[in-house]
Amino acid sequence: MLDTSGHGVIAESITLVDDPRRVVTLADLSAVALGATFTGVDPTDRVPTSELATLVNMIAAGTLRVDIWKTYPLDQVGQAHSDLEAGLNHGKIILTPTGAQPG
């Protein structure tokens, strides 16, 4: 489970995957207290500040494009990972809560 929102979803994420070691966040420093992993502390693994303005401008202009290859329900995460490792994807893979329909 990867959290990028930082909106207090770590406990729920741990419940969904049943193991705090399977939860990583880029945005919630409190995750460590729950046994999850926070990454992004090391400045070398961040987007360079000089690039952030470009990304923000692209988002605002609606020109940032992220190709989505396929959506999988969370209970098919194994298949999603296998497809990714096999190089079958031609874009991002999206995981949705089991039973949820993509919007």
pLDDT digits (tens, 9 = 90+) for 6-49: 778 899 999 998 999 888 888 888 888 999 988 876 666 555 66
Residue 90 lies in a domain: yes
Joined together, the tokens standing for residue 83 give: 């497809």
Whether residues 37 and 73 fall in one domain: no
The residue among 44 and 96 whose pLDDT is bigger is 96
Residue 52 lies in a domain: no
Residue 47 lies in a domain: no
Q: Is 12 exposed, middle or buried (0-12, 13-18, 19+ CB in 10 A)?
A: exposed
Residue 51 lies in a domain: no
Domain count, the chain: 2
Residue 58 lies in a domain: no
The pTM of the whole model exceeds 0.85: no
Tell me the residue range of the domain where 15 lies.
1-42
Residue 57 lies in a domain: no
